[in-house]
Structures are given as structure tokens and as C-alpha cells.
Amino acid sequence: MDETKTCPVCGAAVRDGEHECERCGFKLVGATEELESPGAASSGIIEIDPCGKPRLTLVKGPLKGEAFLLDALPATIGRDPSCDIFLNNMTVSRKHAIIERLGSRIVVRDNTSLNGTWVDGKIVEEAELIEGTLLQVGTFSMRFSCR
């Protein structure tokens, strides 16, 4: 009988003997440790705050539909599990980009990533995030919203 395990990244069920999570693509090799994501719902999805806090919602990629609140800035994006927005894919650099507040603006800054950071279809070193901006990091596309 198949035993069900849980993916340490997205929380999806993974059958015994599988070496990759079907949902997020995480390679299940060797020993892993389950980490509690601050503010994460039981489904592993961070809840969207209706009060209008800035957030990124994944619109393309393995975690499509998930949203990340940008409660505390600066926020790091990368493949390193210590990043605030952890995107586990080889197209994402370990410390790919950073989102920070500059005065009244919220900006994304590339952190010398290998594949670059893209905003509304253009590669950027730094760009302001405004309502509806499309941010692409590796194979992940995220829509910025503050409503």
C-alpha cells in the first residue's frame, strides 16, 4: 500500500517512492526538514489581506495562484530557502532579487541574477512596482497589487 508524504516546500501530498513533487517540482532527494512558513495557511498558501497590503500573486509557474504578502520590506526573492519569497527552480538564482520601499515607492532590484529580473516584459536592474505590474523571475510570473 502506498504511503503518503508531504512536500516540505508546498505541502502537497507525495506518494512514497516519488522523487519529485508534482505540484511545485521540488526534488525529494535525501533528508528534508519541514519548515513552518510564517503566516502560512494550512494549505501552504499565504492569505491575501483584504486591507490593501502590497502582495505578489503568482500567475505563471509551478506555484500558480499562490500569493505572498509584502508585510515586511525589504523582502528577498530567490531559490535559497532563507529568502522571504522562496521559488525553488533552477531558473531562479539563490538570491535573485530584492523588493524594498524607497520613500513612497516600492521597487524591485535585481541582485546580479543569472537570468535577470523582468518587469512588464523588459529586463531591469531596478524598477518601480505599481498596481498590475508583471514581475518575472525565472519561470515564475507574478502580478503586483496593493489593493
Q: Which three cell numbers stand for residue 6?
A: 508531504
C-alpha cell at 18: 516519488
pLDDT (average), residues 28-55: 52
SS3 102: strand
Q: What is the pTM of this model?
A: 0.64
52 vs 75, which has greater pLDDT? 75
CA distances from 4 to 50, 54, 70, 114, 131 (A): 34, 36, 33, 36, 40
Q: For residues 98 and 74, is the Cβ–Cβ distance under 8 A?
A: yes
Non-local CB neighbours of 50 within 8 Å, separated by 6+ positions: none
What is the per-residue pLDDT across 83-125, written as a single tens digit (0 to 9) for each? 999 999 999 999 999 999 988 889 999 999 999 999 999 999 9
pLDDT per position as a tens digit, 46-63: 444 444 578 999 998 888
